[in-house]
Amino acid sequence: MKILVISTGGTISQSHDEKGILKSDETSQTGNDFVRMLKDKLGPDISVIDATTILNKDSANMIMQDWQQIIDTIVFHYDAYDGFIITHGTETMGYATAATAFALGNLGKPVCFTGSQAAFGTLGSDSILNLENCLRVLSSRRDLVGVYLVFGTQIISGTRVVKQNEIDYDAFKCTHRFRPLGTIGAAITFNEPEIAHHLSQLQPYAKTVKSLKIRNTFENNIVVLSEFPGLDSQIVTDLANTGTKGFILKSYGSGVPNIAPDTAAFPNLRLAFKYLQEKQIPLVITSQAPTGCACMSIYEPSVLAHELGAIPAQNMTIQAAVAKLAWLLGGEKTYKEIATLMQKNLRGEII
């Protein structure tokens, strides 16, 4: 098995300056540094491990063009390697994993993301262990293809990655009724039903780049708002008039925004929703509840919102919803097509 490590920066690469601040600079670790540490750990199933460093950024500084560079690198090397390890910062990991999963539609090879909570070389750092665990997973389950995260004790599908903790080495946990693809300890335990769901949208698997379904375009001009009591319609319509192509509203409970019948005397978001519907600007509703599902079918406000064109995100994470909406808009889909596809499971993002 031939593996390529693609380094993009993040804590796993960073070093402390004289003030103790972690920075991405000329002292940062590169993919070659990681490979040197891993070469003595290779088992009989991995014959080659190479590296390329394409970015050196704190993941808080990542933009959609960086996702495209990661994806382009995978595509460029697709025929030469059997699997890929992407080292990435933890802050925006879930966005990058989801974007990669949507852009590469029928991956027939594993694309394993990882990073660390403590910098490479720091006493007690989780960086080397996470990299070693990537090798363990890659060599033990070659049939586990597609995009996934290996971090701490968790193996998580790429469209389900959510950072839950800033301190613990198990920084990522599955939410929204999903379970991990597997857990890592002295042995690795795989969750076969979740793996089947993860793999279900990838067939027929692309073994060569010629058969790989690639659509690596994203629309950056979207807005994510978190609803609060008193959010004014004017804010939404003003943003729409700046050229915003799509909205995601993190609303209450089961996707229940402040929408009322047109006869209501109190302020609500009806005018904003109606305006976006008339302009055919997609509006996706997610839940502020950590494990909430925006089904929009239980309470009157959500039913009224749905009638005004709001799109329920169901149990997608906010990271997957952002990447998916940006990807669909980047593909020049129509307003109706986006509404339909946002509610369809494409890469395991919806149960």
- pLDDT winner (highest mean) among 126-130, 172-176, 200-204: 126-130
Q: The sheet that has 154-157: what strands, in order across it? A: 48-57, 2-9, 83-87, 110-114, 146-151, 154-157, 182-184, 188-190
Closest CA to 74 of 202, 204, 199, 212: 212
Which CATH number does the domain housing residue 239 bear? 3.40.50.40
d(CA 17, CA 35): 24
Residue 279's pLDDT is 97
Asked if the model's pLDDT at residue 143 lies above 70, the reply is yes
Asked whether residue 258 is domain-assigned, the answer is yes
195 and 238 part of one domain: no
269 and 183 part of one domain: no
Lowest mean pLDDT among 175-184, 208-217, 331-340: 175-184
pLDDT in tens, 254-290: 999 999 999 999 999 999 999 999 999 999 999 999 8
139 and 39 part of one domain: yes
Asked whether residue 349 is domain-assigned, the answer is no
Residue 254's pLDDT is 93
Asked if the model's pLDDT at residue 221 lies above 90, the reply is yes
**Are the C-beta atoms of residues 59 and 88 closer than 8 Å to each other?**
yes
Asked if the model's pLDDT at residue 292 lies above 80, the reply is yes
Across residues 169-175, what is the average pLDDT?
90
Which CATH number does the domain housing residue 192 bear? 3.40.50.1170
Select the more confidently predicted residue: 40 or 111: 111
**Are the C-beta atoms of residues 73 and 54 closer than 8 Å to each other?**
yes
Closest CA to 347 of 307, 320, 311, 315: 320
Asked if the model's pLDDT at residue 168 lies above 90, the reply is yes
Structure tokens that stand for 333 in this block: 């889909």
111 and 255 part of one domain: no
Closest CA to 314 of 255, 265, 263, 252: 255
Domain boundary residue, one of 160, 176, 211: 211
175 and 320 part of one domain: no
**Are the C-beta atoms of residues 84 and 107 closer than 8 Å to each other?**
no
247 and 332 part of one domain: yes
Range(s) of the domain holding residue 29 = 2-211
Cα separations (Å) of 177 from 60, 174, 311?
Answer: 27, 8, 20
Residue 54's pLDDT is 96
Residue 180's pLDDT is 96
- pLDDT bracket for residue 42 (50, 70, 90): confident
Peptide bond before 204: cis, by omega within 30 degrees of 0?
yes
Residue 15's pLDDT is 79
| Reported pTM | 0.95
Domain boundary residue, one of 184, 211, 238: 211
Asked whether residue 350 is domain-assigned, the answer is no
Mean pLDDT of all residues in the chain?
Answer: 94
Count of domains forming the chain: 2
- pLDDT bracket for residue 176 (50, 70, 90): low
Asked whether residue 114 is domain-assigned, the answer is yes
Asked whether residue 348 is domain-assigned, the answer is no
pLDDT in tens, 64-107: 999 999 999 999 999 999 999 999 999 999 999 999 999 999 99
Asked if the model's pLDDT at residue 111 lies above 70, the reply is yes
